[in-house]
Amino acid sequence: MTPPRTFTIQTFGCQMNVYDSERMGEALVAAGYEAVALDSGGAADLTILNTCHIREKAAEKVYSEIGRLKKHGARMIAVAGCVAQAEGAEIMARAPVDIVVGPQAYHRLPELVARAAHKPVDTDMPIVPKFDALPPRARPRGPSAHLTVQEGCDKFCAFCVVPYTRGAEASRPAAAILAEATVLLAGGARELTLLGQNVNAYRDADGVGLAALIRQLARLPGLARIRYTTSHPRDMDDDLIAAHVEVPALMPFLHLPVQSGSDAVLKRMNRQHSAAEYLRLIERVRRARPDIALSGDFIVGFPGETDADFEATLALVRETNYTQAYSFKYSPRPGTPAARAADPVPEPVMVERLARLQELLFAQQHAFNRASEGHTLDVLFDRPGRLPGQLIGKTPHLQSVHVIAPGLKLGDLAPVHIQSAGPRSLEGTLVPMAKAA
Ligand code: 5AD
Ligand code: SF4
């Protein structure tokens, strides 16, 4: 087979996969390969699928996509990400591809491509060597950049594949993160979202925790906004809460999954916190930073979930009042303890519970957006809109705002008067005489 020259990457799943795809692309470009835009025809010599294993639907997508690519005559296919890690051998048996590379081994992708004739599978898990071996960051794609600071999870929630696909919790050295941030800022980034499966468990070998890392990052010139995701309630310490008060660049937004409002379910999920502990934590965060916007993740239909358990989830949502959230039907995942549970919730019950939960969350989100009407909010513009002169940006609370702003460009931060609010986004006008930041 003639060696490939061009490649394209298709990304599924979470923001960490988006970050990983960028870094895989940079590693291949550094090795002399050329990136081409994603297209359906398999025009690139090499197509990389960066995959997600979190729920069955996400994992099954990989097999249909491999089939589709093969039908369109794709020359070489690599499966990367969490499905590669969890099901490498199964992929090779069910839908053979040229390369299988796990999330901790993709720094070796150029080498794997070069010897793809041997159908290599590389699912080693050395996290720090990966970051050491990757080339330095290229220019970020826009003003808002992702930066992985921590990977893996030691929590072992009974439903979740992450501890198996991403391995044990591991934190990158603060110095390496500051160096990467400096390159991203020099390339035009103004906002950094620090990523980790348990980002608030971040602690490097010198004992630098997430709050200290955020304080160091906030001193870098040019950095306007810092965000982090995803956090676990158990790792939300006083120092991080204090950082939300002290560091102006740290945005008033917290994604803090709870999964359920029922103590019985939380216990069987092995979440290591009760509903009351979660609510007390939210109270502490809000006391420190009353304007903080809260986001969460929920699972309905965990095995054995009763009507009363589900009502407890609705009660927790009402009490917390989220500005946005993600909610899912429970999906049994191979190898997780919950997959062996004997008391599944029937599908129609799950469907009905999900609809009720989403209706409540949607109403809370819409109400929060409506409360922004008439206010002036700082907006960081991070993508072009569809109308001439229109830009789309984010408020500190991560709401999307559409603004006609012909004089401004991506990366500008400007006060915007919010005129109307839908459930998903806001419309606003630039405050007259405002100068772009
Ligand atoms: N089924 C449904 N949802 C899941 N999540 C994780 N594992 C599962 C599963 N087996 C959800 C959780 C987690 C989010 C990333 O995905 O809510 O916080
Ligand atoms: Fe999965 Fe998050 Fe639980 Fe870790 S803390 S096992 S990533 S749901």
Q: Which ligand is nearest to the CA of 336?
A: 1
Q: What angle do CA 386, 390, 391 make, to 5 degrees?
A: 100
**pLDDT value for 39:** 67
**pLDDT value for 335:** 94
Compute, in angstroms, the gap from residue 6 CA to the centroid of ligand 1. Answer: 35
**pLDDT value for 378:** 98
- 8 Å CB contact between 413 and 257: no
232 lines ligand 2 (CB under 6 A): yes
Spell out which residues line ligand 1, taking CB within 6 angstroms: 54-55, 159-160, 257, 259, 297, 299, 328, 330-331, 333
- The three-state secondary structure class of 433 is coil
196 lines ligand 2 (CB under 6 A): no
155 lines ligand 2 (CB under 6 A): yes
Residue with tokens 């996509």: 65
Distances 220 to 26, 53, 171, 408 between C-alpha atoms, Å: 24, 36, 20, 24
What ligand 2 atom has the least distance to the C-alpha of 166? Answer: 7
**pLDDT value for 43:** 82
What is the per-residue DSSP string for 368-408? HHHTTTT-EEEEEEEEE-SSTTEEEEE-TT--EEEEE-TT-
Amino acid occupying residue 144 = S
Q: Model-level pTM greater than 0.85? A: yes
Determine the Cα–Cα distance for residues 144 and 193; give it in Å rounded to an integer: 7
Q: Which ligand is nearest to the CA of 156?
A: 2
Identify the segments of the chain with pLDDT beneath 70. 1, 39-42, 117-119, 126-128, 433-437
For 155-193, write each residue's pLDDT tens digit. Answer: 999 999 999 999 999 999 999 999 999 999 999 999 999
Compute, in angstroms, the gap from residue 430 CA to the centroid of ligand 1. Answer: 39
Compute, in angstroms, the gap from residue 20 CA to the centroid of ligand 2. Answer: 19
**pLDDT value for 1:** 61
Q: What angle do CA 107, 108, 109 make, to 5 degrees?
A: 90
What ligand 2 atom has the least distance to the C-alpha of 156? Answer: 6
**pLDDT value for 124:** 77
- The three-state secondary structure class of 55 is coil
Q: Which ligand is nearest to the CA of 313?
A: 1
Helix (H), strand (E), coil (C) string for 153-218: CCCCCCCCCHHHHCCCCEECCHHHHHHHHHHHHHCCCCEEEEECCCHHHCECCCCCEHHHHHHHHH
What ligand 2 atom has the least distance to the C-alpha of 163? Answer: 6
Compute, in angstroms, the gap from residue 154 CA to the centroid of ligand 2. Answer: 8
Residue from 55, 156, 313 to probe ligand 1 pocket by mutation (most atoms less than 8 Å from CB): 55
- 8 Å CB contact between 216 and 182: no
Distances 131 to 137, 189, 268 between C-alpha atoms, Å: 11, 20, 35
84 lines ligand 2 (CB under 6 A): no
**pLDDT value for 241:** 98
Determine the Cα–Cα distance for residues 20 and 102; give it in Å rounded to an integer: 11
Compute, in angstroms, the gap from residue 327 CA to the centroid of ligand 1. Answer: 8
Compute, in angstroms, the gap from residue 202 CA to the centroid of ligand 2. Answer: 14
Spatial CA neighbour of 401 closest among 412, 387, 417 = 417
Compute, in angstroms, the gap from residue 244 CA to the centroid of ligand 2. Answer: 23
153 lines ligand 2 (CB under 6 A): yes
Determine the Cα–Cα distance for residues 94 and 259; give it in Å rounded to an integer: 33
CB atoms within 10 A of CB 335: 11
Any residues with CB less than 8 A from the CB of 201 and at least 6 apart, and which?
A: 150, 154, 169, 171, 210, 232, 235
- The three-state secondary structure class of 145 is strand
Compute, in angstroms, the gap from residue 247 CA to the centroid of ligand 1. Answer: 31
Compute, in angstroms, the gap from residue 169 CA to the centroid of ligand 2. Answer: 11
Residue with tokens 């002169």: 389
